[in-house]
A and B are shown apart, each in its own frame.
Chain A
Amino acid sequence: MDFLAEAPYLAAVVPLGLAVFLFLFGRLLGKASAWVAMLGPLTVLLAGVACAVVVLGGEASAAPAPYVGGMVSSATWDWMVQGTMVITIGYAVDGLSALMLLVVGTVALMVMVFSVGYMADDPGFARYFTLLSLFTASMTGLVIANSLAGIFVAWELVGVCSYLLSGFWYRKPSAANAAMKAFLVTRVGDVGFLLGIAVLWQATGSLDLAEMTAAASGVAAGTIAVASALLFMGAAGKSAQFPLHIWLPDAMEGPTPVSALIHAATMVAAGVFLVARVWPLFEASPGVLQLILVVGVFTAVMAGTAATAQNDIKRVLAYSTISQLGFMFAALGLGAWEIAMFHLTTHAAFKALLFLGSGSVIHGTGTQDMREMGGLFKKMPITAVTWIVGAAALAGIPGLAGFFSKDEILAAGYHEQLWVVVLLWAASLFTAFYITRATMLTFFGRPRGDQHAHESGPTMTIPLVILATLAASAGYLATVVAELLGEEAHALEPPVAIVSATVAIVGVAAAVLFYRSGLKADDRLAGALDPVWRAWEHAYWFDGFVQRVVVRPTVVFATVLYEVVDRFVIDGIVEGTGTASRWFGRGMNAIENGDVQWYAALIGGGVIALLAVSYLIVMQDQLADTISNLGLW
């Protein structure tokens, strides 16, 4: 395993090779392709363990900023050489990369094992695992890249994988549309990312993270602020932060394990990772950090409330993910990037668990609508118990993963800006409430709808159990995570922790009491909170707002471009050349009449014309000679 610490790029190369292999031979392998594909995340996980061992053992060499925790291994190659302009590409594995390798490897492996059962009857089985391998390779590349160029390439690759996997059932129009929406909305952010890279390239002359960070100290603060704001735009698009959050709930059209891997644990967390990766830039821009804080807190509250009124179990989890990512960005905005990374880690464990749990439920019942579930606890005991562990971790019940990481965020807010902590407590209250509501509606009460639910097979329940163990225990890894990131671990802050715990328990208890009556509670709440509940149900109608303010004007503009500019101007020019040629041809046709004497006359006329022209040219030269001889020139 030591060789993986020396050559951690294998963690990206192996899954990539497997993706190519499965692309070529996946259909021949059939079901076996899943077990082949699992070698990819297994390599990533082992590389993560090997690198983490090196960092924790203090054997890593000193690392320049922005790398943290010590450098395990790195290498750089010239990629594009244009005269004096050299763009390098390479990898650098530090503590932060090692942590991300562990997260990506674990979740990807669990998701692949789970998918063996979940996707068993799908005709696109091999294609699915090919794409998962490609995603694993891209995500690994993203976390070990040592330059913004490399990160951007991997960033777009995970975006493509997200597009292909969200639209995996591409014959379904809603899935194809959702995939396109996800791609287009994140592209808005990516434009910012690319511009940010350009600004940094211009200002520092390098895209290599270490060189760039070193050169950034000599750059005007305003330039750095602009660049980091643009980078944050990319991060907000990828991590579904307001106002670019609208793609994530729709991306739930993809297979549920994909949602667990891409849209909960890894890719959507890439934005948080990006900010942490280039942290020195953000640290130097307090204004941008304040913007990140506001966006994060707003998103956390907005999505937390929206999750409360969703009926589709996956949409509850999607809004929950947006809300939790808001928590992470709030932590970043407070300057506590290591806490954001800690929350990212614990969130990856319990949210992947919840998504896989919902996948198990959907697999068992054949529906995503919680109104058609209920009373599944007895029929799916393993799923139910593991789900409850994940839900409790998300809600922030003391002792479980979410409690510790969320508490650290709240403690940071408590010390920095009090309004943050108050709003985040509110968001936590909603978190506890909506996830308990989902639990009650799904697993408890009387069964609703026609269902022959059954517990899922071992390939699906074993990952659930493993992830449940992690979701329960990841909170105690705070010191390990902090050490990986080269930071001090934060101790629990009793006053904050007590309030947080109370908030979580109150939220859970309220939801349990309310939803003992099942769906009736929804009606009562909807009646009591009428306009508010409907706003939550429609996520504040933001989608419609975007539809009206952005999408429709764009479509109208595009239609005008097509109908007027394209059809009249461009087509006019193109077809005009054709028409002109045809008329010219008709004209030329008239002189080709078969009369040989007419041809001879044309030839004769042509010769005379040529003679005349050459004679004139000769005359002109002579004229010029004459004039110059006269000395007038």
Chain B
Amino acid sequence: MSIVTLTSLLFSIGLFGVLTRRDLIAVLASVEIMLGAANIQLIAFAAARGEYGSGQSLALIVLVIAAAEAAVGLALLVALARRSGRTQVEELMEVEG
């Protein structure tokens, strides 16, 4: 039960960060927090069911995808920073297409 509380808190903190931070780097970091919460949850539930395998491997997959996502996200950020010199959320509102 305590792990569920921990992950809920982590997820909420991450969501709060995603929704409120204006700096895109902070938003990306918040997304990582939410992914971390999901990962902990996966492993915790797997352990609670007495299984060792599926939950953990799923967590590893999520880690890999999160790394890829972070790479793409940061690359976008770099491109955005080169274009306008800023990495604020408002910059994305100008993006079209």
Task: Please list the residues of chain A having a beta carbon within 8 angstroms of any beta carbon in chain B.
Answer: 593-597, 600-601, 604
**Contact indicator A596/B19 (Cβ below 8 Å):** no
Name the B residues within 8 Å of A596 (CB-CB).
Answer: 89, 92-93
Quick check: is B59 within 8 A (CB to CB) of the other chain? no
18 pairs of residues in contact across A and B, judged by CB atoms under 8 Å: A593-B93, A594-B92, A594-B93, A595-B89, A595-B93, A596-B89, A596-B92, A596-B93, A597-B18, A597-B19, A597-B20, A597-B27, A597-B89, A600-B18, A600-B19, A601-B19, A604-B15, A604-B19
Question: Within B18-65, which residues are at the interface with A (CB < 8 Å)?
Answer: 18-20, 27
In the complex, which residue of chain B has the Cβ closest to the Cβ of A594?
B93
Main secondary structure of the interface of A (DSSP, over half): helix
Name the A residues within 8 Å of B18 (CB-CB).
Answer: 597, 600
State A594–B20 Cα separation when bound (angstroms): 15
| Interface residue total, chain B, C-beta cutoff 8 A | 8
Name the A residues within 8 Å of B15 (CB-CB).
Answer: 604
Main secondary structure of the interface of B (DSSP, over half): helix
A597-B19, A597-B27 known; 9 new pairs, CB 8 Å cut-off, are: A595-B89, A595-B93, A596-B92, A597-B18, A597-B89, A600-B18, A600-B19, A604-B15, A604-B19
B9 → A minimal CB distance (Å)? 16
State A600–B18 Cα separation when bound (angstroms): 8
State A593–B92 Cα separation when bound (angstroms): 11
B81 → A minimal CB distance (Å)? 17
State A595–B92 Cα separation when bound (angstroms): 8
Name the B residues within 8 Å of A601 (CB-CB).
Answer: 19
Name the B residues within 8 Å of A593 (CB-CB).
Answer: 93
In the complex, which residue of chain B has the Cβ closest to the Cβ of A596?
B92
Name the B residues within 8 Å of A600 (CB-CB).
Answer: 18-19
B4 → A minimal CB distance (Å)? 14
In the complex, which residue of chain A has the Cβ closest to the Cβ of B31?
A600
In the complex, which residue of chain B has the Cβ closest to the Cβ of A593?
B93
Name the A residues within 8 Å of B20 (CB-CB).
Answer: 597
State A594–B27 Cα separation when bound (angstroms): 16
Name the B residues within 8 Å of A595 (CB-CB).
Answer: 89, 93
Name the B residues within 8 Å of A597 (CB-CB).
Answer: 18-20, 27, 89
B1 → A minimal CB distance (Å)? 18
State A597–B89 Cα separation when bound (angstroms): 8
In the complex, which residue of chain A has the Cβ closest to the Cβ of B95?
A594
Name the A residues within 8 Å of B19 (CB-CB).
Answer: 597, 600-601, 604
In the complex, which residue of chain A has the Cβ closest to the Cβ of B27?
A597
State A594–B93 Cα separation when bound (angstroms): 5
State A141–B15 Cα separation when bound (angstroms): 82
State A597–B15 Cα separation when bound (angstroms): 10
State A594–B94 Cα separation when bound (angstroms): 8
In the complex, which residue of chain B has the Cβ closest to the Cβ of A601?
B19
State A259–B92 Cα separation when bound (angstroms): 82
Which 4 pairs from chain A and chain B are nearest by CB? A594-B93, A601-B19, A597-B19, A596-B92
Name the B residues within 8 Å of A604 (CB-CB).
Answer: 15, 19
Name the A residues within 8 Å of B89 (CB-CB).
Answer: 595-597
In the complex, which residue of chain A has the Cβ closest to the Cβ of B96?
A594
State A177–B65 Cα separation when bound (angstroms): 79
In the complex, which residue of chain B has the Cβ closest to the Cβ of A598?
B19
State A604–B93 Cα separation when bound (angstroms): 20
A164 → B minimal CB distance (Å)? 61
A581 → B minimal CB distance (Å)? 26
State A604–B18 Cα separation when bound (angstroms): 11
State A601–B17 Cα separation when bound (angstroms): 11
In the complex, which residue of chain B has the Cβ closest to the Cβ of A608?
B15
In the complex, which residue of chain B has the Cβ closest to the Cβ of A604?
B15
State A596–B18 Cα separation when bound (angstroms): 10
A449 → B minimal CB distance (Å)? 83
State A601–B27 Cα separation when bound (angstroms): 13
In the complex, which residue of chain A has the Cβ closest to the Cβ of B92?
A596
State A597–B92 Cα separation when bound (angstroms): 10
Name the A residues within 8 Å of B93 (CB-CB).
Answer: 593-596
A597 → B minimal CB distance (Å)? 5
State A401–B39 Cα separation when bound (angstroms): 110
State A597–B16 Cα separation when bound (angstroms): 10
State A601–B89 Cα separation when bound (angstroms): 14
State A594–B18 Cα separation when bound (angstroms): 16
State A596–B94 Cα separation when bound (angstroms): 11
Name the A residues within 8 Å of B92 (CB-CB).
Answer: 594, 596
B17 → A minimal CB distance (Å)? 10
B26 → A minimal CB distance (Å)? 11
State A595–B18 Cα separation when bound (angstroms): 12
Of listed B19, B20, B27, residue having the most chain A CB within 10 A: B19
State A92–B20 Cα separation when bound (angstroms): 90
B63-97 to A contact mask, C-beta < 8 Å, 1/0: 00000000000000000000000000100110000
State A593–B90 Cα separation when bound (angstroms): 11
State A314–B19 Cα separation when bound (angstroms): 90
A527 → B minimal CB distance (Å)? 92
State A78–B82 Cα separation when bound (angstroms): 83
State A596–B20 Cα separation when bound (angstroms): 11
State A412–B53 Cα separation when bound (angstroms): 112
State A600–B34 Cα separation when bound (angstroms): 13
State A595–B20 Cα separation when bound (angstroms): 12
A404 → B minimal CB distance (Å)? 95
A617 → B minimal CB distance (Å)? 21
In the complex, which residue of chain A has the Cβ closest to the Cβ of B24?
A596
State A593–B93 Cα separation when bound (angstroms): 8
State A594–B19 Cα separation when bound (angstroms): 14
State A601–B20 Cα separation when bound (angstroms): 9
A601 → B minimal CB distance (Å)? 5
State A596–B89 Cα separation when bound (angstroms): 8
B91 → A minimal CB distance (Å)? 11
Name the A residues within 8 Å of B27 (CB-CB).
Answer: 597
State A604–B92 Cα separation when bound (angstroms): 20
